[in-house]
Amino acid sequence: MRKSIAAACVFAVTACVSAVTIFGHASPQAPAQAPLSASGVIKKAETALGGDRLMAAKSLRIEGWGQDALQNGGGNASPSPDAPQRWDNDMNYEETIDLANHRVRVKQRSAAWLPAATMSRVIGNVVTTAVLDGDVPYNVTPQGARRANANAAEGLRVDMLTYPASLVRMALDSATTVDNARTEGHWQLVDIHPKEGPRVTLATDRDGLPVWVRWMENNGVLRDLTMQRWFTGYEPINGVMMPTGFKTVSDFRNTIENQLYVTRNSVDVPTDDLAAPSDVKSAAAPPPPPAITVEATPVAKGIWIMHGRGENSILIEFADHLALFELATSNEWAQAVIDKAKTVVPGKPVTQDIVSHHHFDHAGGIRQAIANGLTVIAVRGNDVMFRDVAARKSSLVPDDLSKNPKPLKFIPVDDHMTLKDSTMEIQLYHIIGYEHMTEGLMAYEPADRLLIEGDLFDVTWQNYPWGNVYADNIKLRNLDVAQDVPVHGMAMPWKDVYQSIQTKIAGTKALCAGPMGPLLPECEVMR
Ligand SMILES: [Zn+2]
Of 49, 353, 90, 391, which Cα lies nearest the Cα of 204? Answer: 49
Domain boundary among 214, 246, 276: 276
Of 128, 181, 137, 184, which Cα lies nearest the Cα of 160? Answer: 137
What are the backbone dihedrals phi and psi of residue 384, each rounded to the nearest 5 degrees, phi first?
A: -65, -45
Asked whether residue 413 is assigned to any structural domain, the reply reads yes
Between the CA of 65 and the centroid of ligand 1 the distance, in Å, is 26
pLDDT tens digits, the chain, 527 residues: what are they?
333 333 333 333 333 333 333 333 444 445 456 679 999 999 999 999 999 999 999 999 999 999 999 999 999 999 999 999 999 999 999 999 999 999 999 999 999 988 889 888 998 889 999 999 999 999 999 999 999 999 999 999 999 999 999 999 999 999 999 999 999 999 999 999 999 989 999 999 999 999 999 999 999 999 999 999 999 999 999 999 999 999 999 999 999 999 999 999 999 999 899 999 999 999 999 988 888 999 999 999 999 999 998 889 999 999 999 999 999 889 999 999 999 999 999 999 999 999 999 999 999 999 999 999 999 999 999 999 999 999 999 999 999 999 999 999 999 999 999 999 999 999 999 999 999 999 999 999 999 999 999 999 999 999 999 999 999 999 999 999 999 999 999 999 999 999 999 999 999 999 999 998 888 888 877 75
Question: How many structural domains are present in the chain?
Answer: 2
Q: What is the pLDDT of residue 326?
A: 97
Same domain, 485 and 349: yes
Between the CA of 419 and the centroid of ligand 1 the distance, in Å, is 24
Longest Cα separation, the chain: 84
Question: Which 3 state secondary structure label does DSSP give 486?
Answer: strand
Q: What is the pLDDT of residue 451?
A: 98
Between the CA of 356 and the centroid of ligand 1 the distance, in Å, is 9
Measured distance CA(435)–CA(42) in Å, rounded: 49
Between the CA of 15 and the centroid of ligand 1 the distance, in Å, is 49
Asked whether residue 437 is assigned to any structural domain, the reply reads yes
- Conformation bin of residue 34: beta by default, left when phi > 0, alpha when psi is -120 to 50: beta
Where helices occur in 346-422 by DSSP H, the ranges are 360-363, 366-371, 382-390, 400-403
Between the CA of 75 and the centroid of ligand 1 the distance, in Å, is 7
Same domain, 493 and 373: yes
Q: What is the CATH number of the domain that holds 401?
A: 3.60.15.10
Domain boundary among 276, 304, 326: 276
Same domain, 67 and 214: yes
Between the CA of 123 and the centroid of ligand 1 the distance, in Å, is 19
The enclosing H or E element of 54 equals helix 52-56
Same domain, 235 and 378: no
The enclosing H or E element of 48 equals helix 38-49
Between the CA of 85 and the centroid of ligand 1 the distance, in Å, is 14
Same domain, 261 and 302: no
Q: How many CA atoms are closer than 13 Å to the CA of 156, on its beta-carbon side?
A: 29
Same domain, 424 and 360: yes
Measured distance CA(126)–CA(93) in Å, rounded: 12
Same domain, 307 and 180: no
Asked whether residue 219 is assigned to any structural domain, the reply reads yes
Print the domain residue range for 420: 295-525
Asked whether residue 4 is assigned to any structural domain, the reply reads no
Asked whether residue 282 is assigned to any structural domain, the reply reads no
Between the CA of 367 and the centroid of ligand 1 the distance, in Å, is 18
Between the CA of 127 and the centroid of ligand 1 the distance, in Å, is 23
Measured distance CA(325)–CA(352) in Å, rounded: 8
Q: What is the pLDDT of residue 527?
A: 55
Same domain, 335 and 216: no
Number of other residues whose CB lies within 10 A of the CB of residue 159: 18
Asked whether residue 11 is assigned to any structural domain, the reply reads no
Asked whether residue 29 is assigned to any structural domain, the reply reads no
Asked whether residue 127 is assigned to any structural domain, the reply reads yes
Burial 504-525 (b: 16+ CB within 10 A, else e): bbeebbebbeeeeeeebbebee
Span 101-132, pLDDT tens digits:
999 999 999 999 888 898 889 988 899 999 99
Q: 350, 322 in Cβ contact below 8 A?
A: yes
Measured distance CA(185)–CA(211) in Å, rounded: 13
Between the CA of 491 and the centroid of ligand 1 the distance, in Å, is 18
Q: 420, 428 in Cβ contact below 8 A?
A: no
Between the CA of 182 and the centroid of ligand 1 the distance, in Å, is 44
For residue 142, with 0-12 CB atoms within 10 Å meaning exposed, 13-18 middle and 19 or more buried, which class applies? exposed
Between the CA of 76 and the centroid of ligand 1 the distance, in Å, is 9
Same domain, 324 and 416: yes
Span 37-91, pLDDT tens digits:
999 999 999 999 999 999 999 999 999 999 999 999 999 999 999 999 999 999 9
Between the CA of 79 and the centroid of ligand 1 the distance, in Å, is 11
Sheet holding 313-317, edge to edge: 295-300, 303-307, 313-317, 322-325, 350-354, 375-379, 409-413
- Conformation bin of residue 41: beta by default, left when phi > 0, alpha when psi is -120 to 50: alpha
Give the chain's mean pLDDT: 92
Span 234-252, pLDDT tens digits:
999 999 999 999 999 999 9
Q: What is the pLDDT of residue 481?
A: 98
Q: Is the dihedral of CA 257, 262, 146, 283 positive or negative?
A: positive
Between the CA of 436 and the centroid of ligand 1 the distance, in Å, is 6
Q: What is the CATH number of the domain that holds 226?
A: 2.50.20.10
Same domain, 392 and 521: yes
**What predicted TM-score, i.e. pTM, was given to this entire model?**
0.90
Same domain, 268 and 335: no
Domain boundary among 243, 276, 309: 276
Q: What is the pLDDT of residue 32?
A: 55
Q: What is the pLDDT of residue 379?
A: 98
Same domain, 56 and 143: yes
Between the CA of 113 and the centroid of ligand 1 the distance, in Å, is 15
